[in-house]
Chain A
Amino acid sequence: MGVREKNPGADPVQEQGADDMASPRTIGGIIAIAAVAGAIAVAAMIWRPAIAAVEPPAPQSFDSALVKRGRALAEIGNCNDCHTVRGAKDFAGGLAVPTPFGIVYSSNITPDPETGIGRWSEAAFRRAMQSGVDRDGRHLYPTFPYDHFTHVSDEDDRALYAYLMTRRPVHAPARDNELSFPFNQRIVVAGWKLLFLRHGTFQPDSTKSAEWNRGAYLVEGLAHCGACHTPRNALGAERIRAAFAGGDVENWHAYAINSQSPAAVPWDADALFLYLRQGWHPDHGVARGPMAQVVSNLSAVPESDVRAIAVYMADMSGAPTPDRKRRGEDVLARAASRPTPQGGSGDVSGGAVYAAACATCHGGDRAPPFGGIDLALSSAISGPDARNVANIVLSGIRPREGERSPIMPGFADSMTDEQIAALLSYLRARFSDQPAWTSTVEIVRDARRSQSALLQISPSPRNAPTEATKRDKP
């Protein structure tokens, strides 16, 4: 505009020739066009259309075999863990999921037409799984692990849809997320997807067995193991290059399950299978914390799928080095001989507490599930931080309703934070070759404060009847 004011009578053609491409007007125009084009491009990337609502399909319209397959898939996907509040109605959502950016509440995925997914078509459901977009076209937060679910096949999405649409509808409106700005703007999620959501990256590996490939498909997709076991970057995305190197979830540490696993005895496919299937392994201990729900779900799915997961994960953790293998054998041999416990190497009161409160089970001659694991075998003791063992000492190990499980009494009511901290330091010094933990008192205090609900209240029983109407009956 400035040019025109200086030369009011100038011929536009002449002006263009005289000023060439340097004309501020032209530049302004280009910028404007680029901005509009950019805005359109961005809008195209972030804008998703609504998918038309459908009449809720009748439960009878789904093939029962498909529903049954969907049930097993939902268990592999651990859907109930986030979408069911303990003690509340199945899949009705409302569970607070803490993230570094605030609290995200899980959604109602029952077929309720108003508050659930009752009016979602299969296409809308599939789009949510593949792209993290709800039926209205809103971007879903990646707390819903669609970075994994995008790898789920259309066929499996169909079965999951059939299963969910045949659950009992529950009227439960969504709770508003508690996220700070700018994370409360869903547009941010579109940017996150540009950076981190990759479609179609999972491809079968023809050099591996069918079982390995089945395991890879499940682990990388529906089972979303990396969601907990892979560390996340500052934007909350999994660090692909550190796959399975250990992560954090609900004030628990999810152990590294690659070559950096802290397990005293290296995992192999057989041990993983038993652990995932029954929830404990004599050489590794009991799955607790957020993992408890995972193994509870895996107890009811086809055995071949659990074995496939074990085969793939054993390969991910790799064959142990001869040195590591030998150390594992040493620890096992020592555990078998079970020397009489005595205090000494660690804090005196920690040693006394161990001898009186822990050793009767953990130093006895019975292996899990009837006795406690020798703590030299426990990843909780050799792991990188003290949170898991603090959680366990406080709350113990309680079976879920209707489940068989090893049990351990909690000591929250009989020990102070300082006493537990002293015990943890003693256990670390005596039962691992790892450097001492720091700030154990603070860790115990935090653990006491945020006692995981998973340990406090039993969720739905294992092997709950598929038929929703039978759930509340004895």
Chain B
Amino acid sequence: MMTLKVNGHDHQVDADPDTPLLYVLRDDLKLNAAKFGCGLGQCGSCTVIVDGKAVLSCVTPLVLLEGKKVTTLEGLGTIETPAPIQRAFIEEQAAQCGYCIAGIMMRAQALLQRNSKPTDAEIRAELELNLCRCGTHMRILRAVRRASQLMRTADASPSQRRTP
């Protein structure tokens, strides 16, 4: 039994220490935004934020998460009050099938938290690890740029929220 801090709440989790975080998020906590893609840390659809950094939850065992703060897409905003990154992806209609998008939003969020105005090259380099097979890459890039702008302007409030 260990305590896992997710989206600002403590959860008591009864799982082996080598259980991947993704399984606990989806199966135990019913947080289904992070997706199981390859299970090998190669596609990025399981990306969540741990202590401010984008992490692949399918290859991150619980044993590494003692005392750390996990944020999933559910922790950023809601349907009623989406976070800037979510608003930007909706406004740019950056999802097609959407399977990769939660992971991409989380990695972009982590990038914008440490660098509020990334260059195109920085966005591309950061998202290199997250695959999208539908081919909405150009919209994804536009959405990240829009999110960057939203997060830097008052226009973003009231949905402007930082991760807990």
Report if B32 contacts A (CB, 8 A): no
Once the chains are docked, how many angstroms separate the CA of A344 from the CA of B61? 17
User: Known interface pairs A349-B63, A413-B54. Does A360 touch B18 (Cβ–Cβ under 8 Å)?
Assistant: no
Whether A356 lies near B63 (C-beta < 8 A) is: yes
Whether B63 lies near A409 (C-beta < 8 A) is: no
Once the chains are docked, how many angstroms separate the CA of A409 from the CA of B56? 8
Closest to B23 in A: A356
Report if A414 contacts B (CB, 8 A): yes
Interface SS of chain B: helix, strand, loop or mixed? mixed
Report if B82 contacts A (CB, 8 A): no
Using Cβ atoms and an 8 Å threshold, which residues of chain A touch B19? 356
Interface residues on B, range: 20 to 34
Report if B60 contacts A (CB, 8 A): yes
Using Cβ atoms and an 8 Å threshold, which residues of chain A touch B16? 352
Once the chains are docked, how many angstroms separate the CA of A356 from the CA of B63? 9
Whether A457 lies near B125 (C-beta < 8 A) is: yes
Q: How far is the CB of A464 from chain B (nearest CB, A)?
A: 18
Using Cβ atoms and an 8 Å threshold, which residues of chain A touch B142? none
Once the chains are docked, how many angstroms separate the CA of A228 from the CA of B56? 34
Closest to A359 in B: B18
| Number of interface residues, chain A, beta carbon within 8 A | 19
Report if A172 contacts B (CB, 8 A): no
Whether B59 lies near A360 (C-beta < 8 A) is: yes
Whether A355 lies near B18 (C-beta < 8 A) is: yes
Report if A187 contacts B (CB, 8 A): no
Of A408, A415, A457, the residue contacting B64 (CB under 8 A) is A415
Report if B103 contacts A (CB, 8 A): no
* Contact mask for chain A residues 398-435; partner B; CB cutoff 8 A; 1 contact, 0 none: 10000000011101011100010000000000000000
Q: How far is the CB of B2 from chain A (nearest CB, A)?
A: 12
Once the chains are docked, how many angstroms separate the CA of A352 from the CA of B60? 10
Once the chains are docked, how many angstroms separate the CA of A392 from the CA of B129? 16
User: Known interface pairs A356-B61, A398-B128, A414-B50. Does A409 touch B17 (Cβ–Cβ under 8 Å)?
Assistant: no
* Contact mask for chain B residues 101-142; partner A; CB cutoff 8 A; 1 contact, 0 none: 000000000000000000000000100110000000000000
Report if A332 contacts B (CB, 8 A): no
Within 8 A of B (CB), among A325-378: 343, 349, 352-353, 355-357, 360-361
Of B39, B55, B63, the residue contacting A413 (CB under 8 A) is B55
Report if B20 contacts A (CB, 8 A): yes
Q: How far is the CB of A278 from chain B (nearest CB, A)?
A: 19
Q: How far is the CB of B76 from chain A (nearest CB, A)?
A: 18
Whether A352 lies near B41 (C-beta < 8 A) is: no
Once the chains are docked, how many angstroms separate the CA of A415 from the CA of B62? 11
Using Cβ atoms and an 8 Å threshold, which residues of chain A touch B50? 413-414
Q: How far is the CB of A343 from chain B (nearest CB, A)?
A: 8
Using Cβ atoms and an 8 Å threshold, which residues of chain B touch A408? 41
Q: How far is the CB of A140 from chain B (nearest CB, A)?
A: 34
Whether A356 lies near B20 (C-beta < 8 A) is: yes
Once the chains are docked, how many angstroms separate the CA of A310 from the CA of B130? 36
Closest to A422 in B: B63
Once the chains are docked, how many angstroms separate the CA of A209 from the CA of B103? 56
Report if B42 contacts A (CB, 8 A): yes
Report if B97 contacts A (CB, 8 A): no
Using Cβ atoms and an 8 Å threshold, which residues of chain A touch B17? 349, 352
User: Known interface pairs A356-B20, A414-B50. Does A409 touch B61 (Cβ–Cβ under 8 Å)?
Assistant: no
Additional 12 contacts, C-beta under 8 A, given A343-B18, A398-B128, A419-B64: A349-B17, A355-B61, A357-B41, A360-B39, A360-B58, A360-B59, A409-B42, A413-B50, A413-B53, A413-B55, A414-B56, A414-B64
Q: B residues touching A (Cβ–Cβ < 8 Å)?
A: 16-20, 39-42, 50, 53-56, 58-64, 125, 128-129
Give the 7 A-B CB pairs with smallest separation, nearest first: A356-B61, A409-B41, A413-B53, A356-B18, A352-B18, A414-B55, A355-B18
